[in-house]
Amino acid sequence: MEQKKIESVSLAQAQEMVDKWIKTFGVRYFNELTNMAVLSEEVGEVARIISRTYGEQSFKSSDEDKDLGDELSDVLWVLICLANQTGIDLNEAFLKNIKKKTTRDKDRHHNNKKLKDGYSGNIKEDKDKSY
């Protein structure tokens, strides 16, 4: 039987897919504390790629085959596991979070002088400039 190629996935579908995979291939979910540690590990792998790609660190030979998209997907996987095992509907939580951010921050970033052109990021250099 040929498997249908999936083009995109909603948050709800992703949660269902992860749950089905865990129950089929993974035996059971790791406990929440273990998954929190795994999440930290995965975020560290993303940080390593970012620091070497966009930061000042150079790549080591062991870093050469690392893929940022794959590592971000690992982070998403563990986040979905944590959501599933704690009863969080990520679609609902995400929409609620966007509404909160929009209400709270609708003017905040536009009024942030640090985000204006000419800001160097150096507090000592920029403290006397007017934006």
- H-only helix segments in the chain: 11-25, 32-53, 68-86, 90-105, 123-126
Q: What is the reported pLDDT for 119?
A: 73
Q: Which residue has the tokens 């865990």?
A: 22
Q: What is the reported pLDDT for 2?
A: 63
Return the higher-pLDDT residue of 119 and 26. 26
Contact by Cβ (8 Å): 30, 59: no
Cα 43 to Cα 36: distance, rounded to the nearest angstrom: 11
| Torsion 76-79-85-91 (CA) sign | negative
Contact by Cβ (8 Å): 124, 58: no
- What pLDDT digit, counting tens, does each position of 91-100 carry? 999 999 999 9
Matching CATH number, 11-90, of 3.20.20.20, 1.10.287.1080, 3.30.70.260, 3.60.110.10:
1.10.287.1080
Look up the pTM and report it.
0.82
Cα 43 to Cα 76: distance, rounded to the nearest angstrom: 10
